[in-house]
Amino acid sequence: MMKNRLLRELPSVDELLRSAPLKEASALYSASAVTDSVRKSIEDARSGIISGEVTAISFDGLVEASLAALRRTRCSRVHRVINASGTVLHTNIGRAVLSEEAVDAIRLASGNINLEFDLVSGERGERDSLVEDLIKRLTGADSATVVNNNAASVLLALNSLAEGKEVVISRGELIEIGGSFRLPEIIKKSGCILKEVGTTNRTHPKDYASAVTDKTALLFKAHTSNYTVVGFTAEVGLAELVDIGKKHGLPVVEDLGSGSLVDLTRYGLPKEPLVSGSIEAGADIVTFSGDKLLGGPQSGIIAGKKEFVDKIRKNPLKRALRADKLTLASLEATLRLYLNKDTLPERLPTLRHLTRPLAEIEAAANKALGLLKEKLGDGFEIRVEDGESVVGGGSLPGHNIATKVVSVTHKTENPERIMRLFLDSTPSILGRINKERFLLDMRTVEDPKDIIPSGRF
């Protein structure tokens, strides 16, 4: 009985549209947008009445609900996030923080640039020319091209060089990375036939050699950048695989995943395969990411011998997967930073965060502790503790870096509610929960003030 009464009390769309606030809204939003918002508010109220969740009807409440929905349409869905999670290259919040030079390049490229226009000849050019010379110089490759991410690099390279034919790869390298990216599925989607050799933990040269038939198009090697296999293991190195390929007249493609352009050990980090090392070892094509260890924008880089890169570049799929002007401009700026390896840790945020001195992190944590105590007040216990950061982004598996974290606990509230306070801040602050404590890792926090929530508990 009450539900029927409430349904009858629902105002019409026209009645709500005649209200003063919604008349004013029509001047800011289109009339159709206001009408759609009003209809949605009435429908939501009707559904709530039928389900029993709504027990009273308010005309002003429906007006405000309509206005709130309209305001949300004008708000950006993109929000700044402070990364205090302890994962330096956090995939869910965009991985690498771009350098100032890369950001300036994006700002420049927001207008018209010489994307595919040769300013010397006055004729149409090739967009890869914006970055190709730099990639060649930094890797030793004969040629290079860029697509929108590394999964696209692998897909395009395989489709260009081995469509309809067999690709030989070790079972121990059939990787899966975040977001359910599985190499076997990429190989199949590229139109190639997957041919696995060896076992999960041991693969030998004879496994590759015996797998080669007249249907084989190439030998493939994947760097297991997000896990390690230890114990009773054996794998075929790239140089040895190249020798096998030469004996059978087959190209060798290597996917390095993260892709490092500098020897990380000079900065106190674990050794990671260099792109230049793979090129020097004889790989015909090497694919790697631009937004992981390289520290640039999301992109996939294909470097190698000119005859194979040219074939890849001519594939119609290249146009579907190509990088846009903003990506190419910021990638070029990032690559230029690598020309001076001595200043790289200061100018490239990814490397700066990975190599940040512990004493500096501790000083920032202590400053944040004082600010948080002042902001949060009674009921909270805030301490600076030892912790460990990880690289993330499928890079340097198993390598944890000593750090300092600020732990935030409350006498009565659970850590999930504390985490929500920080996520609801402007900007949002991303920490992590560990052993019933909310932790803020200071390794990637440039300014301690950035982790002070804007709201109240």
From residue 210, alpha-carbon distances to 168, 200, 207, 213 in Å are: 11, 18, 5, 8
- Sorted by sequence, the CB contacts under 8 Å of residue 18 that are 6+ apart come out as none
The tens digit of pLDDT for each residue in 73-118 reads 887 888 999 999 999 999 999 999 999 999 999 999 999 999 999 9
Distance between CA atoms of residues 92 and 85, nearest Å: 11
What is the CB neighbour count within 10 angstroms for residue 420? 15
What is the CB neighbour count within 10 angstroms for residue 285? 29
Exposed, middle or buried: residue 211 (CB in 10 Å: 0-12, 13-18, 19+)? Answer: middle
From residue 301, alpha-carbon distances to 224, 231, 248, 294, 374 in Å are: 18, 33, 27, 11, 47
Query: Residue 435 corresponds to which tokens in the numbers above?
Result: 């052993």
> What pLDDT shows up at residue 223?
86
Q: What is the pTM of this model?
A: 0.86
From residue 98, alpha-carbon distances to 93, 145, 211, 409 in Å are: 13, 21, 44, 33
Q: Minimum mean pLDDT among 19-28, 108-117, 309-318, 444-453: which range?
A: 19-28
The tens digit of pLDDT for each residue in 151-195 reads 999 999 999 999 999 999 999 888 776 656 788 899 999 999 999
Domains in the chain, CATH or no CATH each: 2-74 (no CATH), 81-89+353-451 (3.90.1150.110), 100-343 (3.40.640.10)
On the question of pLDDT at 226 being above 60, the answer is: no
By the 8 A CB rule, do 414 and 435 touch? no
Q: Minimum mean pLDDT among 95-104, 195-204, 295-304, 404-413: which range?
A: 195-204
Burial 369-398 (b: 16+ CB within 10 A, else e): beebeebbeeebebebeebebbbbbbbbee
By the 8 A CB rule, do 95 and 298 touch? yes
